[in-house]
Amino acid sequence: MKQSTDLLRQLGWCPFFQQQLDAQEREDSVPGRVTAVHRSGLDITTQSNEVSIALAGKWFELPPEQRPTIGDWVLLDADLALIERLLERKSLFKRMGAGNNPELQLLGANIDTLFVVSSCNEEFNLSRLERFLSLGTDASVETVVVLTKADLSENTDQFVDETRKLTSVTHVEVVNALDLDSLAGILNWCKEGQTIALVGSSGVGKSTLVNTLAEVNLQATGDVRDSDKHGRHTTSHRSLHLLPGGGMVLDSPGMREFQMADSDTGLADLFDDIDALAVQCKFSDCVHDSEPGCRVTEAIERGEIEARRLESYLKLGREQQFANETIAERHKRTRDWGKLVKQHAAIKAHKKS
């Protein structure tokens, strides 16, 4: 199969993916990138075509993490009618769905840079920022905090200073999403072959930012409610778009909250200051509440760590533990808790009698 690779390179094709192909696949298969995911099919862009392909039933027999998602690279047959293989990913964004027995949900694959978008108004929230930053640390991708609506704020430095208190933050950009000139700083991450993803709450200006980067209206935009400064959902599905400079951008529906997926390193990187103190606690099973010799609570009392930050650390940690549990383990924990409650009730009833 001989073809120009100019478009493939813009789509993000690189040696990492090329070296996964054997000689037969290089000759007979067509590489393509997933640009949208529907209920039972995918939109895929190849070097010379844009096709919609139904996802065969065999894929739904696999665990969610082994199914194609937006941003994935796949190999198609010569007729562009069948997905032959899913290529290994450079990175993967995922979360746990809602409900008592949530299933893992894939948010995007092969992302190079994550833009965590917040705004310079009442929507700004450090704990929410930490939650979105956990996506980047879990996937081990470079993360940039983008603070929008700079034109509507009288003191953007305040928001920058608050953001830099988070130990995992290394890049902060303040922008007016409507002004392309103000985006010069973040354009450094939007070069040819690079893929960026945007996450953040509704109404912070993600869709506006995508439209300005693309120099065309790709996404609908909406107003922010005066009552709470929260926005209405304007992006209804995840979509991958090619930018004028050759990079690609993944926009996703606004997410006020999402559940942590299983991760071994994400929280450790996000809260490395608390982890460093936790290993010094007097008790190895310290929960950083009121135990004697707790180095974390001592640091809070000295004003070295915010109490809010510990609360965020513990909350995300509980979610991660829940995600790491198997269904059997979860059921056992629920049964054990039920037995404990019944025992406690029986003791109280016996004392009253």
Q: Which of 248, 258, 213, 234 is nearest to 109 (CA)?
A: 248
Question: The domain at 106-251 falls in which architecture?
Answer: 3-Layer(aba) Sandwich (3.40)
Same fold, 6-88 and 266-346: no
Distance set, CA 5 to CA 2, 48, 112, 169, 248 (Å)? 9, 10, 20, 35, 16
Distance CA 107, CA 291 (A): 39
Which positions ≥6 away from 64 have C-beta within 8 Å? Answer: 103, 104, 105, 106
Positions of the chain with pLDDT lower than 50, given as ranges: 1-4, 222, 224-236, 254-256
User: What local confidence, expressed as pLDDT, does residue 105 receive?
Assistant: 84
* Domain residue limits, the chain: 6-88, 106-251, 266-346
Helix (H) or strand (E) segment spanning residue 267: helix 266-270
CB 33 within 8 A of CB 109: no
Query: With pLDDT > 70 as the criterion, what percentage of the chain qualifies?
Result: 78
**Interval 303-319: pLDDT, tens:** 988 899 888 888 888 87
CATH assignment, 266-346:
1.10.40.50
Residue 117 half-sphere exposure, CB side, CA atoms within 13 Å? 29
> Would you report the helix, strand and coil content of the chain in percent, each value rounded to 5?
35, 20, 45
User: What local confidence, expressed as pLDDT, does residue 256 receive?
Assistant: 44
C-alpha 228: how far from its chain's center? Answer: 24
**DSSP of 126-146, one letter per residue?**
HHHHHHHHHHHHHHT-EEEEE
Which positions ≥6 away from 117 have C-beta within 8 Å? Answer: 146, 148, 198, 199, 200, 204, 205, 206, 209
User: What local confidence, expressed as pLDDT, does residue 321 receive?
Assistant: 75
Distance set, CA 317 to CA 124, 201, 238 (Å)? 22, 21, 27
CB 191 within 8 A of CB 200: no
C-alpha 351: how far from its chain's center? Answer: 51
User: What local confidence, expressed as pLDDT, does residue 197 receive?
Assistant: 93
User: What local confidence, expressed as pLDDT, does residue 22 receive?
Assistant: 95
Question: What pTM value is reported for the model?
Answer: 0.76
User: What local confidence, expressed as pLDDT, does residue 273 receive?
Assistant: 87
Spell out the long-range contacts of 296-301 with Cβ–Cβ below 8 A and sequence spacing 24 or more: none
User: What local confidence, expressed as pLDDT, does residue 254 receive?
Assistant: 45
Question: The domain at 6-88 falls in which architecture?
Answer: Beta Barrel (2.40)
Distance CA 231, CA 234 (A): 8
